[in-house]
């Protein structure tokens, strides 16, 4: 199952991180076009108790690199969490993608059954690798990726499902949906 664990994590997370980078570029252009100070979007939240856009992107990045590292059995790269601009968030995503590219399928051998232990401020979480991937890592990644998308959408950035999904790997389409989804 090692190749399946790899295929269900690294390529999926990498694809969505690339979409997130593209969405952030659209947001930066939109802010310039509408004369909005970028910090307005970067610090925007969906609700007072939710993270702002910058933190949503940081946590999505953390979930992606944490997932890859834990399943591959390597140390998780530590980033400073000091981004304050769209360009700095883009650099962070690129660094996360570079780390994910460094992981090889063979490193995921046995990761479905390997115990994943996570220390959080209020306790310890333990999972099998498979349960971690499906029940924690991917849902958390998508939660923060979706929150980032929704913050921008809520603030008037013209985004749709096409930008969220990107050109889905392996998908072909015909008819109107092909153009809508930028499918080949």
* pLDDT tens string 48-62: 999 999 999 999 999
**Which strand (E) or helix (H) includes residue 119?**
strand 115-120
**Which strand (E) or helix (H) includes residue 118?**
strand 115-120
137 is written with which tokens? Answer: 């890592």
pTM of the model: 0.94
**Segments of the chain assigned E as strands:** 115-120, 123-128
Per-residue pLDDT tens for 3-49?
899 999 999 999 999 999 999 999 999 999 999 999 999 999 999 99
What contacts 95, CB < 8 A, 6 or more positions away?
Answer: 77, 79
Residue 131: which pLDDT band, with cuts at 50, 70 and 90?
A: very high
98 is written with which tokens? Answer: 């570079």
CATH homologous superfamily of 2-159 = dinb family like domain (1.20.120.450)
Question: Would you put residue 71 in left (φ > 0), alpha (ψ -120 to 50) or beta?
Answer: alpha
Residue 180: which pLDDT band, with cuts at 50, 70 and 90?
A: confident
**What is the percentage of the chain residues whose pLDDT exceeds 70?**
97
Q: What angle separates helix 86-102 from helix 10-34, to the nearest 10 degrees? A: 170
Residue 141: which pLDDT band, with cuts at 50, 70 and 90?
A: very high
């Amino acid at each position: 199952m090692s190749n399946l664990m790899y295929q269900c994590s690294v390529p999926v997370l990498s694809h969505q991180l690339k979409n997130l980078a593209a969405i952030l570029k659209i947001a930066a252009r939109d802010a310039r076009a509408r004369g909005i100070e970028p910090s307005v979007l970067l610090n925007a939240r969906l609700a007072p108790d939710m993270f702002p856009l910058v933190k949503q992107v940081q946590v999505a990045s953390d979930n992606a690199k944490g997932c890859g590292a834990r399943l591959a059995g390597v140390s998780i790269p530590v980033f400073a969490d000091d981004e304050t601009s769209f360009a700095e968030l883009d650099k962070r995503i690129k660094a996360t993608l570079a780390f994910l590219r460094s992981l090889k399928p063979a490193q995921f051998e046995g990761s479905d059954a390997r115990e994943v232990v996570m220390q959080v401020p209020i306790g310890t979480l333990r999972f099998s690798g498979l349960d971690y991937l499906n029940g924690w890592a991917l849902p958390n990644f998508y939660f923060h990726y979706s929150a980032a998308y929704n913050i921008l959408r809520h603030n008037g950035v013209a985004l749709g499902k096409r930008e969220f999904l990107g050109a889905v790997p392996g998908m072909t389409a015909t008819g109107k949906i092909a153009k809508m989804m930028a499918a080949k």
